[in-house]
Amino acid sequence: MSDYPPCRLAVLVSGSGTNLQVIIDKIEAGELNAEIVCVISNKRDAYGLERAGRHGIPAIVHENCSFPDRRSYDAATVEILRSHKVELVILAGFMRILTDVMVNAFPHAIMNIHPALLPAFPGLHAQQQALDYGVRFTGCTVHFVDCGTDTGPIILQSVVPVEQDDTEESLSDRIRSAEHQTFVQAIKLSVDRKISVAGRTVLISP
């Protein structure tokens, strides 16, 4: 049992939402002291929206086409998040770079999962970048979000081996299994208030 009320999460997705599903399942199993108060997607057809709906979670389509630039889109996102009294923002396959408008509205309260061991292979197609480079190990990183591309303070990482016959798909599948564990662990540390940040270093209390 936690001493704190459930942390109010927003999960932002652009695609299939398998990470979202694991977070939902852990909350429903009582293993994560949190509540998902909304799922937001910049893609109308993101399967993550359907997953949210199935669990009675408000699913919000928030497309960028009607906004003149990234900052005004982010300002509208902040409004949605504030109206839902969100405490922690989870980027679970949300394929947009955030501006200072979002980052400054939620300092050290936006977490992203990236399918590589940062600072190696930031940006798009991280798994293919790892294959092209020929690394023996890659993995996933959960980090706080700043205004750079996958540059924020690192919370947790997991290592995943690269096999000789891996394709982008097989490697992505192996990394995604690691993501499902690592992301929930990181979110749990945050909702249990075990994380503090000193400069670039994330400190985890025992």
Residues that bind ligand GAR (CB under 6 A): 13, 15-19, 92-93, 113-115, 176, 179
CB of 198 to ligand GAR, least distance (A): 25
Q: Give min distance, CB of 74 to ligand GAR, in A.
A: 16
Would you say 73 or 139 has its CB closer to ligand GAR? 139
Q: How many CB atoms lie within 10 A of CB 130?
A: 25
Phi, psi for residue 114 in degrees, rounded to 5: -125, 135
Q: Which residue has the tokens 């197609």?
A: 125
Question: Which residue sits closest to ligand GAR, CB atoms considered?
Answer: 93
Q: In whole angstroms, how close is the CB of 94 to ligand GAR at the nearest point?
A: 7
Catalytic-residue membership of 143: no
- In degrees and rounded to multiples of 5, residue 64 shows phi and psi of -95, -5
What is the spatial distance between Cα 78 and Cα 200, in angstroms, rounded to a whole number? Answer: 24
Taking the complex as a whole, how short is the minimal distance between the CB of residue 192 and ligand GAR, in angstroms? 22
Q: Of 82 and 92, which has the nearer Cβ to ligand GAR?
A: 92
Active-site residue identified among 114, 125, 143, 180 = 114
Query: In terms of C-beta distances under 8 Å and separation of at least 24 residues, what long-range contacts does 199-204 make, across chains too?
Result: 199/153, 200/153, 200/154, 201/153, 202/144, 202/153, 202/154, 202/155, 204/155
Comparing CB distances to ligand GAR, the nearer of 92 and 184 is 92
Cβ proximity to ligand GAR, 37 vs 90, nearer residue = 90
Active-site positions read 114
